[in-house]
A and B are shown apart, each in its own frame.
Chain A
């Protein structure tokens, strides 16, 4: 059976008068991984739980392979779910945990053992089959949880912030394993996270959410380089906010002594003809060059390995962040004057 698509159509859900989801529309293509990304309370976990059948929706539909699943109870939806933490059954060892779903499906003991063994090997834990939850580290537990979800060959894989409770190093390692497993097995996957770096690195598409609504859904590169709204622009990566003046026709903006093209197509309504605006520019699109007559003054230089993040201040007090290759950052010490040079590329205005 080939992987199905998952569609959310105008999904809504309120809790005690507060709308956790407000008309969410989203499509996950078969075999791909979509991340639901957003700050706390944006509704991403609620959406996931509705897909799983653990919550009901107040409005809208969830369709798997085109069919509405509302009437199907959670235990019949054939979806594998990995929770944030503490979801392994403590009275069963790793192998029995992984085999649990198979047991529910009536597999006999020998077949269950075999398949569980295969999956534990897949996640690199064949040496831990007899261990119990309290004998495993957080990373190991989540690997077992993943194996358990995959054992039943689910149509859809759902992950609810599976890495948030883990250590930084384990987190990076495990997310890559999850991604490679997902592509290898070709399972349609929905991954909830609040960590934008995580989202950008594992997804085929990122759905940025805010207050129960979708802000933008696109491939990671596009979400980063071409954010649809100011919220997305500032949530993903870092953005400078520089004052600028919009031209009369709204096509260009004057900022920091340059005239740059304004990127159209944002969903924001805003002043489109003349007036003061805020220009959003990424630190890597801002260059600082030491210059005696430069208008900017370096305030701080933060070494980050390959690049150095320079914080500079403009005469009017605006702070500017610039990511500069460390090799060329030697002269940009606090107190030096520098000239601000912006890349000649379209920018967003807010």
Chain B
């Protein structure tokens, strides 16, 4: 049921209708909230005790997310005996860690940009198809599955495809085209990007489909009736409306790739240094004496990078949620 704007009340204000109906059930002594904003006023009054309801959740997150995060952040600034130091942090700003950061960022940017662009192209191609037709449904289901398909299975799947014994490798060989001679292996940058795209593109689809759906047909028709060509519509209305969700998706894809561990772990032979892998090796003891907290310092940097990206993403989401809902 489309919520049409009630009599001259600005469309952004107030909670939806149920609040108004609910106020009828309150005892007569309570002052009913004025109009639709009443529900917000009602809850404000009961706030202090109600916060207790969130206590279990807050405690749980504090312990199982907050504590590890806190541990990593503080340990980054400590040396092995527990004294405060900036040594770990400064070490991570130098090679080989610095190099790993750049490589990680490169991989994330490449897979994010390619994933976003290709994903958008696919989404537009699919959205042209009938809404509940086969193509549309197949793609939406598939993207739901593949977006979360990462880690080990993905690595093995690609090994079976383009690995040294892979099926496609063999096909290409029999056609006279040797992959390794042309410099392609699964564990160099090109290979990793190719593999990462396998979950980046579906993730892009998942994020951009609702946005594309949010483009109401009336806008396109109104633009047409006002004399716009298809191109002009996209330039002036469709494009600007899609730009924020597109950017948001790009950010999300970046964070997703940057944080990925399992796939890289399964594929990499060390030739492509990545930050998550480095943290992993530090944790399994592959580190110089006196630098046990390097892993934490690296973790700190990861939090900073990914954290910034997620914040930017959330801000973008807020801004455009209004338009495309």
Q: Does A touch B (CB under 8 Å) in the complex?
A: yes
Q: Which residues of A contact B12 (CB under 8 A)?
A: 134-135
Inter-subunit contact A74/B322 (CB<8 Å): no
Inter-subunit contact B222/A75 (CB<8 Å): no
Q: Which residues of B contact A145 (CB under 8 A)?
A: 222
A122 sits at the interface (CB 8 A):
no
Measured in the bound complex, the distance between the Cα atoms of B300 and A58 in whole Å is 66
Inter-subunit contact A138/B5 (CB<8 Å): yes
B215 → chain A, closest Cβ, in Å? 10
Q: Which residues of A contact B221 (CB under 8 A)?
A: 52, 54, 74, 81, 83, 87
Give the total of B residues in contact with A, Cβ under 8 Å: 30
Chain A proximity mask over B78-110: 1 for CB below 8 Å, otherwise 0: 000000000000000000000000000000000
Inter-subunit contact A136/B219 (CB<8 Å): no
Inter-subunit contact A138/B4 (CB<8 Å): yes
B132 sits at the interface (CB 8 A):
no
Measured in the bound complex, the distance between the Cα atoms of B5 and A140 in whole Å is 10
What does DSSP make chain B's interface, helix, strand, loop or mixed?
loop
Which chain A residue shows the least CB distance to B239? A91
Inter-subunit contact A90/B228 (CB<8 Å): no
A170 sits at the interface (CB 8 A):
yes
A228 → chain B, closest Cβ, in Å? 33
A-B contact pairs, 29 of them (CB 8 A): A52-B225, A74-B225, A75-B229, A77-B225, A78-B227, A83-B218, A86-B216, A89-B219, A89-B222, A89-B223, A90-B241, A91-B237, A91-B240, A104-B228, A105-B227, A133-B11, A134-B12, A134-B322, A135-B11, A136-B10, A138-B7, A138-B8, A139-B5, A148-B222, A148-B226, A149-B225, A165-B5, A167-B6, A169-B7
B301 → chain A, closest Cβ, in Å? 37
Count of A-B residue pairs with CB < 8 Å: 119
A69 sits at the interface (CB 8 A):
no
Measured in the bound complex, the distance between the Cα atoms of B232 and A139 in whole Å is 28
Interface residues of A in 67-103 (CB under 8 A from B): 74-81, 83, 85-92, 100-101, 103
A152 sits at the interface (CB 8 A):
yes
Q: Which residues of B contact A167 (CB under 8 A)?
A: 6-8
Chain B proximity mask over A154-170: 1 for CB below 8 Å, otherwise 0: 00001000000111011
Chain A proximity mask over B40-77: 1 for CB below 8 Å, otherwise 0: 00000000000000000000000000000000000000
Binding site for A on B (CB under 8 A): 2, 4-12, 216, 218-219, 221-229, 232, 236-237, 240-241, 322-324
Q: Pick the contact of A140 from B8, B218, B229, B240 — CB < 8 Å? A: B8
Binding site for B on A (CB under 8 A): 52-54, 74-81, 83, 85-92, 100-101, 103-105, 133-141, 145, 148-149, 152, 158, 165-167, 169-170
Q: Pick the contact of B225 from A81, A92, A135, A169 — CB < 8 Å? A: A81
Measured in the bound complex, the distance between the Cα atoms of B216 and A133 in whole Å is 14
Inter-subunit contact A90/B8 (CB<8 Å): no
Known: A74-B224, A148-B222; 10 extra A-B contacts, CB below 8 A, are A80-B225, A81-B222, A104-B232, A136-B5, A136-B11, A137-B8, A141-B5, A158-B225, A165-B5, A166-B5
Q: Pick the contact of A100 from B4, B11, B236 — CB < 8 Å? A: B236
Measured in the bound complex, the distance between the Cα atoms of B4 and A145 in whole Å is 15
Q: Which residues of B contact A137 (CB under 8 A)?
A: 5-11
Q: Which residues of A contact B10 (CB under 8 A)?
A: 134-137
Which chain B residue shows the least CB distance to A74? B224
B10 → chain A, closest Cβ, in Å? 6
A104 → chain B, closest Cβ, in Å? 4
Q: Which residues of B contact A77 (CB under 8 A)?
A: 225
Q: Which of B10, B219, B224, B227: most chain A Cβ within 10 A?
A: B227
Inter-subunit contact B228/A75 (CB<8 Å): yes
Q: Which residues of A contact B4 (CB under 8 A)?
A: 85, 138, 165-166
Measured in the bound complex, the distance between the Cα atoms of B323 and A158 in whole Å is 26
